[in-house]
Chain A
Amino acid sequence: MERHHIVALCLLIVVAVVCTLAGREFLKMHEPDEIIPGQGVTKIENLSTYFGALAGMSSDTKVYILDSGRPGATALVLGGTHPNEPAGFMTAVVLTEHASAREGRLIVIPQVCGSGFTCTDPLEGYPQSFSVQSKSKMRTFRFGARGSNPLTEWPDPLVFLQYPSGQQLSGNEVRNLNRSYPGRPDGTVTERIAFAVMQLIERENVDIAFDLHEAAPEIPIINAIVTHEKGKDAAASALFTLESENLQYALEMSPPNFHGLSHREWGDRSPVFPYLMETSNPIQGRLRGKTNEALVVQGVDQKYYEAAQIGSMRITYNLEGEPLARRVGRHLRGVQALLGAYMESMPEKRIVVDNVPAYEQILERGIGEYLH
């Protein structure tokens, strides 16, 4: 063999190794996260149960039902509408693995935008996953993209015409589940997921529903409860409760002319009281420094601390940062407070969820304490 043949062969081997390693990393994102249902889970469905076309696709996902067996209201909690907002879906995971219903019924979908969990957003340098030490082992969860995987509905249009409102949005929003409600059965992957959620709300007679999110610390709508007008009194009442426990929230009304959002379309198209909640997540922010797993879990970022020091932050941000445990704790407490306020306004519709870690508890012991 001549020398240049050997060099070429070596190069080919190097390329093959790089491709194999990269390919494995790429495919790893398609391996579902392990979610271990707790004793409170009485039934497990798939989202495709409510809309068959999702069956066998990456956009199908598990639906956990926690039924008390006693009459009452049905609540729905969605995590992972935006798979790059981990507090939303980790809250749903904690509920699935630890909570139980004492009255009424709780339905949890931890990773509702299944497709978005199979990739990360380009150019953001996000980690592919993060880990939390549970009581028995290291639990790893995927950190996904804001929208559905572009491979499932490529290419994005230049302008996204929201269905059925006709509202115009930038092209990449076509993959944003929280712009795609009510969806349609013959639409894009994202519209189909939205359609399935609407079907679930209808078939399961959901009374109150939560869409759990996070946002960059610098945006104005943060540590917030967004409500449809029909749920505003219950939201204000919950806000009082939360404030008395030193958890500050801003109350925001859902704009009636901004379509495709959960708090708008669920509320307009079903009897459900919809609430969207936001916590503050430094890894989504534009001021962030090193973008890694530690930032997902600990939420400590020097630049945000400096921004707070010069008074350009609307929330309190100190050197403790915004750890995932605190964000999950806020969401859990927010859900509980809103359920309480809902029952006050609808005494005949009871929903009581037990074994939800208290805010102080989860802050002190960490999320892992409440995972298997």
Chain B
Amino acid sequence: MKRAQVLMIAATLLLLTAVSTLLFSQSKVKFDQPVLITSAGQSADVTIAGMLFKKANVQARAISLAKASDLEGIKTLVVVAGFSSKGLGAAGISREQELDRVKSLLAAAQEKKLKIVTFHLGGKARRGNQSDDFNKMAAEVSSYLLVVKQGNEDQFFSKLAAEKKIAIELVDKIADAVQPLAKMFEK
């Protein structure tokens, strides 16, 4: 084998390694515990998120109506976005009150330099005017988005992620979120 060929192969290998490391590191956005799960819009998807954490073996506390004071000692805030009129009814608050709560909670989390993650699990049912204010509000300040594809048919989340340079993971089904979730908190 000529020396040039050897060099060429070596260079190619090196390049491949570099590229794969880069890709690998991109998919490895890391988060720390303790975790607080909250809702933005009071959909029952918080319960589903709680179930995902259980399946992924990651400890997390869920408080649907979390306030800034609940962030004490927390390292990662997971916001489950999506509006539900029944959920707001259950919480006994108006949509405006919920918007205010989420806004101030996110501001407090940013001030404390917590990592914020947005989950969108409810597909089309949690999209549309009523939901998208919550979806946008949470997603824009997140460093990671975990989205079930049906809720991103119009690229709402992927566009936002590209624009704000936020890592995003799209999964086909809610159950497929377990693996990326476990990875997020891998040591």
Binding site for B on A (CB under 8 A): 220-224, 226-227, 229, 232-233, 235-237, 239-240, 243-244, 248, 250-258, 311, 313-316
Contacts and interface: CB of A to CB of B under 8 A. Distances in A.
B183 interface: no
Interface string B155-187: 000000000000000000111000000000000
- Which 8 residue pairs are nearest across A and B when measured between Cβ atoms? A255-B89, A251-B44, A250-B125, A253-B90, A252-B86, A255-B90, A236-B47, A236-B51
A159 B92 CA distance: 23
Given A220-B125, A257-B92, A233 B47 contact: yes
A239 B48 CA distance: 8
A127 to B, nearest CB: 30
Contact of A252 (B44, B123, B130): B44
Interface string B23-39: 00000000000000000
A243 B51 contact: no
Contacts of B123: 248
B127 interface: yes
Contacts of B125: 220, 222-224, 250, 314-315
B97 interface: no
Contact of A311 (B130, B154, B175): B154
A258 B48 contact: no
Contacts of A311: 154
Given A229-B90, A244-B173, A244-B175, 17 more contacts: A220-B85, A220-B130, A221-B85, A227-B44, A237-B51, A239-B48, A240-B174, A248-B123, A251-B43, A251-B44, A251-B47, A252-B84, A252-B87, A253-B87, A255-B86, A314-B125, A314-B128
Contacts of B127: 314
Contacts of B44: 227, 232, 235-236, 250-253
A244 B55 CA distance: 15
Contacts of B174: 239-240, 243
A253 B150 CA distance: 22
Nearest to B48: A236
Contacts of B90: 229, 253-256
Contacts of B84: 220, 250, 252-253
B112 interface: no
B89 A258 contact: yes
Contacts of B85: 220-221
Nearest to A222: B125
B35 to A, nearest CB: 18
21 contacts: A220-B130, A224-B125, A229-B90, A235-B44, A236-B50, A239-B48, A243-B173, A248-B150, A250-B125, A251-B45, A251-B48, A252-B43, A252-B84, A253-B84, A253-B86, A254-B86, A255-B90, A258-B89, A314-B124, A314-B127, A315-B125
A222 B175 CA distance: 21
A144 B43 CA distance: 32
A229 B44 CA distance: 10
Contacts of B130: 220
Contacts of B124: 313-316
Interface string B114-138: 0000000011111110100000000
Nearest to A251: B44
Nearest to A246: B173
A9 B143 CA distance: 85
Nearest to B154: A311
Residue among A224, A232, A243, A256 with the highest chain B CB neighbour number at 10 A: A243
A320 B11 CA distance: 55
Contacts of B126: 250
